[in-house]
Amino acid sequence: MIRVAIAGYGNLGRGVEKAIAQNPDMELVCIFTRRDPESFQANSGVKVVAMADMASMKDAVDVVILCGGSATDLPEQTPQVASLFNVIDSFDTHANIPTHFEKVNEAAKNAGKVAMISVGWDPGMFSLNRIYAESILREGSTYTFWGKGVSQGHSDAIRRVPGVKRGIQYTVPVPEALEAVRSGSNPELTTREKHTRECFVVAEEGADKAAIEEAIKNMPNYFSDYDTTVTFIDEDEFDRVHNQLPHGGFVLRSGVTGEGTKQLIEYSLTLGSNPEFTACVLVAYARAAARMASEGMTGCKTVFDVAPSYLSPLSAEELRAHLL
Amino acid sequence: MIRVAIAGYGNLGRGVEKAIAQNPDMELVCIFTRRDPESFQANSGVKVVAMADMASMKDAVDVVILCGGSATDLPEQTPQVASLFNVIDSFDTHANIPTHFEKVNEAAKNAGKVAMISVGWDPGMFSLNRIYAESILREGSTYTFWGKGVSQGHSDAIRRVPGVKRGIQYTVPVPEALEAVRSGSNPELTTREKHTRECFVVAEEGADKAAIEEAIKNMPNYFSDYDTTVTFIDEDEFDRVHNQLPHGGFVLRSGVTGEGTKQLIEYSLTLGSNPEFTACVLVAYARAAARMASEGMTGCKTVFDVAPSYLSPLSAEELRAHLL
């Protein structure tokens, strides 16, 4: 049994808890929290331990899955926790991955632990599809599309606009752009041509809806470079229709071999729940981290460094017989 | 530079020759052949060496890409050549992979070489997508569809029917079956429900077309379990329209997380040329084999055993900065 702990009990942490229940070779030992551990109970009934008392669990846990955010939690937590445990995180600020890697690698190497960073679907499964596809089709173009799905950052941005009571934003790939890529024409696509942004807003009583719409559509970085629609709905509809966190997207590699032969590789995800899917990826890589650590490996790893066989509970013989 | 040799100079071998030209870190050293090496020239101008003289190239070649067939060539060749060189093959008789693995593993271990078997797209990229998807979504069903594409085995079978002058067979996934899988309904699909078989035939002068059609449609193993169409065309059209070897297909994993949340992973290939694409996969894994051997690894490997970073010419730092 691989003994797992979860650090952080939000959407992602609860998703990991559910995912572990689908993996009979894994056992959830405890939840680590920065809150008062007496203030809540875990759905699965496992004990809740204060983050400050982590070291007390050192011999009872094989790997800790960090479920904090990339903005402020993980840059601090991952190196810290990697000095005590094998760890996995879903650090997803692409531009800061090299710096995060260096800090985590030093901590994990010094402690003789394996630390797997940036695990999830992007970075994560999408990254894997980029490396496989680009290693195979050396001449060509790679395209990543996101959605249809809820962007938490953009939903937060909507909710900061005065007069907005509730708000949610869906990122939607433009079908014509996807088709152009699939055709093998290797188009150069602008930001506006690749995705649209669909916003659903519940306005405060008496708010100026036209002003809200203008404020959203012209918001720099978030919306001004996109074709954005703003739809006002009532709170009932908001609660009924927009209560999930679906997401997904596409990675396409359109390449050429021989004398102009077109070749297309496409990977796509259609996720009913973004945090539950990310959780499943984290759990599979937790299995890999525990195994790699037990073989004596140490240091920071990414999905690029993990042979696929480490992810599966099946033996090498079973994999060759049934999945190859 | 990784120094590569090709053994076997048919469609696949010529595809590998073209693929190596797209990889500046690789150099094609020679073609090994069972034919008289004086009887043909390689398109790239590299020297042609008799298979019997392979050992003479021992110090000049880092990895040999075997381009023979799975029925009779590779079961003999791969263990033999693995006693002299690091090798890659595209052995694709799924049921015999475990036996092939054992034989190749023994030869490669004894010689201190790396031998990578069953590299291509199925087995190969499709296998990778099955292992990743099943490791992530533990509850669910996996579906593989092939096509639209030319099946060489089925085309050969058509050509053995009396009265058939030319023949080609396309395997076509049934769109309704694909949609049923994508819907998350996890259908049980029979052979007939998943694929149709489309045959294009040029009949010999005066042949009984009705008899040919019946013979094809009722052929056990090949056609009798499928909805098969037979279209007679003239030789001009055959040469003009059916002169390529396109292929492709889909791997889908439809799973459930949490309390019934649907999650879908889909991978697809749309290949203008099956042998040229397979060749590109072989070349990427040749890079991996050379690197793994230089790190001291030995024995038989499959795509499940290869960390993705080995496939790319980019450094670990570049991969993390640009593809993660």
Q: Which residues of A touch B268 (CB under 8 A)?
A: 265-267
Q: How far is B86 from chain A (nearest CA, A)?
A: 19
Per the CB < 8 A criterion, the answer to whether B242 and B200 are in contact is yes
Report how far residue B53's alpha carbon sits from residue B117's, in angstroms, rounded to the nearest whole number. Answer: 23
Task: Please report the residues numbered 117 through 146 in chain A whose beta carbons come closer than 8 angstroms to any beta carbon of chain B.
Answer: 118, 123, 125, 127-132, 134-139
Question: For B188-233, how does the pLDDT look when each residue is reduced to its tens digit (9 = 90+)?
Answer: 999 999 999 999 999 999 999 999 999 999 999 999 999 999 999 9
Question: For A76-94, how does the pLDDT look when each residue is reduced to its tens digit (9 = 90+)?
Answer: 999 999 999 999 999 999 9
Dihedral (CA of B6, B8, B10, B11) sign: negative
Interface residue of A121, A257, A315 to substitute, partner B, most B CBs within 10 Å: A257
Contact A279 B257 (CB under 8 A): yes
Contact B270 A276 (CB under 8 A): no
Q: How far is B36 from chain A (nearest CA, A)?
A: 26
Contact A279 B263 (CB under 8 A): no
Interface residue of B14, B135, B265, B322 to substitute, partner A, most A CBs within 10 Å: B135
What confidence category does residue B163 fall into, taking pLDDT thresholds of 50, 70 and 90?
very high
Name the packing angle between helices A274-294 and A11-21 (round to 10°). Answer: 60
Report how far residue B189's alpha carbon sits from residue A307's, in angstroms, rounded to the nearest whole number. Answer: 32
Q: Which of B126, B284, B131 is nearest to A132 (CA)?
A: B284
Q: Which residues of A touch B182 (CB under 8 A)?
A: 270
Peptide bond before B173: cis, by omega within 30 degrees of 0?
no
What confidence category does residue B143 fall into, taking pLDDT thresholds of 50, 70 and 90?
very high
A284 touches chain B (CB under 8 A): yes
Contact B311 A131 (CB under 8 A): yes
Question: For A276-303, how does the pLDDT look when each residue is reduced to its tens digit (9 = 90+)?
Answer: 999 999 999 999 999 999 999 999 999 9
Q: Consecutive sets of 10 residues in chain A, 324 residues long: mean pLDDT of each? A: 97 98 98 97 97 97 97 96 98 95 98 98 98 98 98 94 97 98 96 97 97 97 96 97 96 97 98 98 98 98 98 97 95
Nearest CB partner across the interface for A270, out of B101, B258, B264:
B264
Q: How far is B57 from chain A (nearest CA, A)?
A: 27
Nearest CB partner across the interface for A137, out of B128, B280, B306:
B280
A227: β partners: A196
Q: What mean pLDDT is reported for chain B? A: 97
Question: For B302-312, how does the pLDDT look when each residue is reduced to its tens digit (9 = 90+)?
Answer: 999 999 999 99
Please name the amino acid found at residue A162: P
| Residue B98 CB partners (closer than 8 Å, separation 6+) | A317, A320, A321
Q: Which residue has the tokens 């060189």?
A: B85
A280 touches chain B (CB under 8 A): yes
Q: Which two tokens stand for residue A93?
A: 């600020």
Report how far residue B169's alpha carbon sits from residue B282's, in angstroms, rounded to the nearest whole number. Answer: 25
How many residues does the structure list for chain A? Answer: 324
B289 touches chain A (CB under 8 A): no
Q: Which of A137, A260, A161 is nearest to A209 (CA)?
A: A161
Report how far residue B207's alpha carbon sits from residue A94's, in angstroms, rounded to the nearest whole number. Answer: 65
Contact B308 A266 (CB under 8 A): no
Report how far residue B174's alpha carbon sits from residue B193's, in angstroms, rounded to the nearest whole number. Answer: 7
Nearest CB partner across the interface for B280, out of A131, A136, A272:
A136
SS percent in chain A: helix, strand, coil, step 5: 40, 25, 35
Contact B257 A18 (CB under 8 A): yes
Nearest CB partner across the interface for B321, out of A98, A273, A277:
A98
**Residue A297: burial class (beta carbons within 10 Å; 0-12, 13-18, 19+):** middle
Q: Which of B147, B118, B93 is nearest to B269 (CA)?
A: B147
Dihedral (CA of A322, B324, A298, A293) sign: negative
What pLDDT does B119 receive?
98
Interface confidence (ipTM) of the complex: 0.97
What pLDDT does B98 receive?
96
Report how far residue A183's alpha carbon sits from residue A190's, in angstroms, rounded to the nearest whole number. Answer: 18
| Residue B187 CB partners (closer than 8 Å, separation 6+) | B177, B180, B181
Q: Which residues of B touch A134 (CB under 8 A)?
A: 312, 323
Per the CB < 8 A criterion, the answer to whether B281 and B125 are in contact is yes
How far does CA A41 lie from the centroid of its chain? Answer: 25
Task: Please report the residues numbered 242 through 261 in chain B whose beta carbons come closer than 8 angstroms to any beta carbon of chain A.
Answer: 257-258, 261
Beta-sheet strand order (sheet of B149-150): B149-150, B164-173, B195-203, B227-232
Per the CB < 8 A criterion, the answer to whether B107 and B75 are in contact is no
Task: Please report the residues numbered 191 through 250 in chain A whose beta carbons come closer than 8 angstroms to any beta carbon of chain B.
Answer: none
Residue B21: how many CB atoms within 10 A of its CB?
A: 15
**Residue A180: burial class (beta carbons within 10 Å; 0-12, 13-18, 19+):** middle
Report how far residue A95's alpha carbon sits from residue A74's, in angstroms, rounded to the nearest whole number. Answer: 14
Residue B284: how many CB atoms within 10 A of its CB?
A: 28
Per the CB < 8 A criterion, the answer to whether A307 and A131 are in contact is no
User: Global pTM?
Assistant: 0.97
Residue B281: what are its φ and ψ, rounded to 5°? Answer: -65, -45
